[in-house]
Amino acid sequence: MAQEASSSTSSKTISLKTGDGEIFEIEASAAKQMKTVQRLIDDLGDDITIPLHNVFSKELPKIIEYYKKDITGEITKDFEAEFVKDLNDDEVKVLFLAANYLDANKLFEFLSQNIADRLESKSVEYVRKYFGVENDFTPEEESKLREERAWSFRGIKEDE
Amino acid sequence: MLSELTDDIILNILWKIEDDPRDWARLSCVSTKLNSLIHDFCWKNKTSLIIPSQLLVSSSQDHSLHKLPFCCPGLVHAGILFNTADSPEENQHQQSITSSSSTPSCSLVQQSNECSTYWSLYDDLYHDTLYADSESNHQQEQEESKENTIRTGVVDVPPESKKIKVNGSLSSHLATGKWTLSREQGSKLLARQFRDDCLYVCDWPGCVHLEEKRKYRVFRGVFMNFKKTRVWKTVNDCSNRRKIDLPCAFCSCNHTWDLHSAFCLRRGFGYHDDGEPVVRAFVCDNGHVSGAWTDVPMYT
């Protein structure tokens, strides 16, 4: 009955509890891909339910879905395209922040690329709205910047 | 959301938007944070890969230098739309056309309306402007560039209103062709006595513009340490006759020097039948050069 030091086998699952109190199961090998989770496992042991205060039940299943595919080596371009296809900008942002918090590098890189793709050719106002930033230039500064960059405002497709 | 992200994370996203230089240029208008990240990291890194290091080291790393490899000055700043004749009416014409501010897009519309009684190159050029896209560096256009396909952009000019849509090919815009600069290209331009001046020009053929009359290979470049060059001494010593009200495409200089009439360009290029020079180039006080090559006339 003695526990071995590293008793995680590939079939072992870890329990994760979201910030809004829901519990999800994940394979131990998938949990390993999320460094934050792995650190918590190392600290708390793998028999305990790992609390993830900053991740919620809306996004965690999606993250688990991604890593389920990852551990079986099934992540393809098609899968990734499908994964984000129906996500709106806010949903991508939430997933991105969660991946950042979980230190889930592969998903984080993939979502960074997806955000970059969504920002390409977009207007200044769109990007401000997306990142939730205010225009903190003085009117003179902004006018000068836009004048210097007038060349870059030409030939750009309109925001959807 | 931005405030929750570290600089590294923001940069990670920004690096992934580097294919089209216009994105970084516009993103730097979003906020002071994005502006400083893009300036200090993105542009600095990108230009270190395409601008020769001697030029980088001797220049101030401002947006003018960052924009030079990627930004075609357009027909406006390359002086192609500039009437260089010396008659009083035409002087007045050229004053009113080019004394526009450094944002030619709106002001040119107004100016050309005022000048509608004069014949000008505008009338020819605003119709059926073709924008050639050869040897492009754009990733998405790599297949096309092998076949040298031509992108057609027609500028609509409703004749009754004379409201002219100044599209990308007339004022400054993203350059087609190569985004690298070389001294070799610059040295092809200058007369022999200026061979010690370092002029870096974009690699051949520049940004090709197919106009009704002829093809212009619009180029841009910059002198290293301009105020120490012989070209500077030459244009500066000449009377103000050579200085024209043609704003620089790359900085806030409102006037430039005509290198052709200052005899700084290599001899023998000659003129076309209609009086246009085969090569023209203009330099501002900061050493930014805009100009265009045309094909040497077959029958002279």
User: What count of residues does chain B have?
Assistant: 300
Q: How many Å separate Cα B26 from the centre of its chain?
A: 18
**pLDDT > 90? residue B275:** no
Alpha-carbon distance of B82 to B78, in angstroms, equals 9
pLDDT at position A22 is 95
Distance of residue A117 Cα from the nearest chain B Cα, in angstroms: 7
Q: How many Å separate Cα B66 from the centre of its chain?
A: 13
Alpha-carbon distance of B255 to B244, in angstroms, equals 5
Alpha-carbon distance of A113 to B65, in angstroms, equals 28
What's the pLDDT tens digit per position in A91-132? 999 999 999 999 999 999 999 999 999 999 999 999 999 999
In chain A, whose CA is at the least distance from the CA of B30? A124
What's the pLDDT tens digit per position in B162-215? 333 344 568 899 999 999 999 999 999 999 999 999 999 999 999 999 988 889
Please judge whether B31 and A149 are an interchain contact, meaning their C-beta atoms are less than 8 angstroms apart: no
Pick from B9, B102, B173: which is nearest to A155 by CB?
B173
Alpha-carbon distance of B134 to B208, in angstroms, equals 7
pLDDT at position B213 is 84
pLDDT at position B164 is 35
Structure tokens at A40: 């918590």
Please tell me whether the overall predicted TM-score, pTM, comes out greater than 0.95 for this model: no
Q: Give A46 or B277, the one with higher predicted confidence.
A: B277
Q: How many Å separate Cα B103 from the centre of its chain?
A: 13
What's the pLDDT tens digit per position in A16-66? 999 999 999 999 999 999 999 999 999 988 888 999 999 999 999 999 999
ipTM of the complex in this document: 0.86
Please judge whether A124 and B249 are an interchain contact, meaning their C-beta atoms are less than 8 angstroms apart: no
